[in-house]
Amino acid sequence: MYWFRRMMMGRYGTDQLSIALLILYMVLSLILQFFRVPFLSLLALIPLAICFYRIFSRNINRRYAENARFLKWWYPVKTRMQKSYSRFQDRQTHRYFKCPHCSSTLRVPRGRGKICITCPVCRTEFIKKT
């Protein structure tokens, strides 16, 4: 293992973008197991090749900038997915409403009947059925 450690000195290594490329490769190869098209299976190898190129690259500044651009795109997608997952988990116990004045999302316990909801941001009161 010492030779590998010496070889990786000065190289970029793994980051979030390379892991995402590996996951993309695995998903594409799993999908292409059902469709057996040779050209598309070669197309699935492109993310894997880019991933290994990034891992073994010596141009650290450029790889860092690429990862920063990816994360700038990925974090809004990730937070949207996490919010919808938490809303899905809370569907039995809570309802979500939007404030009519400031459009902020409010989480209210389900099953309380008609209640007066006060927005914590703008203090607007509105009545909704939970």
Tally of domains in the chain:
2
Helix, strand, coil fractions of the chain, as percent rounded to 5: 60, 15, 25
Residues 97, 117: contact at Cβ < 8 Å?
yes
| Residue 9 sits in the same domain as residue 44 | yes
Span 53-107, pLDDT tens digits: 998 888 989 999 999 999 999 999 999 999 999 999 998 999 999 999 998 999 9
| Residue 98 sits in the same domain as residue 85 | no
| Residue 83 sits in the same domain as residue 122 | no
| Residue 79 sits in the same domain as residue 129 | no
Say what the pLDDT of residue 9 is. 78
User: In terms of residue numbers, what domain contains 99?
Assistant: 93-130
Describe the crossing of helices 60-89 and 16-35 by its angle, rounded to 10 degrees: 70
Say what the pLDDT of residue 115 is. 92
